[in-house]
Chains A and B, each alone.
Chain A
């Protein structure tokens, strides 16, 4: 069965960076896009971008250009998202999700809470 297992919660300082992971299992990792989505407490969902692990191609929401960097390691079937120059506005839960037919998000990770605080 398809599973996306994300890394644990992070408490980080303003101005720093954080890298969170999403380990995929139960399907061919290199054949599907991996999307990343942000959810702030009480707020809706924001799409950050996707990476295609098969060739490393990426597509970002312009809003997150320079904030998020998506990578993938085919050998471990793990996708990563690095967030840089963190501020309180980056405090949120971040989900990875497998992309099916043009942006259908059919399986989601459990989410990672990132808290930016001094």
Chain B
């Protein structure tokens, strides 16, 4: 299976820029997607196919990367962005998710 590696946690102040990385154990073309999950809620799609902003998602969120290295950037960060962020690949079978990066806003 394709393993997706994310940093476990980050802490930033409001107004700063934060980048969350996701590294795949093998190439996933551009089929990397990013989700935000707040406690007790379902995940919400933020970015699809590496760099495309999902409908209704603020332009503060952006994605980049291809192959095996991908980044989700939030600029500027707001207090409401406190959540866990997951990457997911849908190029290789089975689809897999990263273990999530917990973002704390100081």
Which A residues contact B (CB, under 8 angstroms)? 35, 37, 44-47, 59, 61-63, 95, 97, 100-111
Contact = CB atoms under 8 A, between A and B. Distances in A.
Interface residues of B, number: 24
A58 to B, nearest CB: 13
Contacts, number: 59
Contact of B54 (A46, A102, A106, A111): A106
B45 A105 contact: yes
B73 interface: no
B64 interface: no
B44 interface: yes
Contacts of A44: 86, 97-100
Contacts of B41: 110
A41 to B, nearest CB: 12
B57 to A, nearest CB: 11
Interface in B8-42: 31, 33, 35, 41-42
Contacts of B33: 103-105
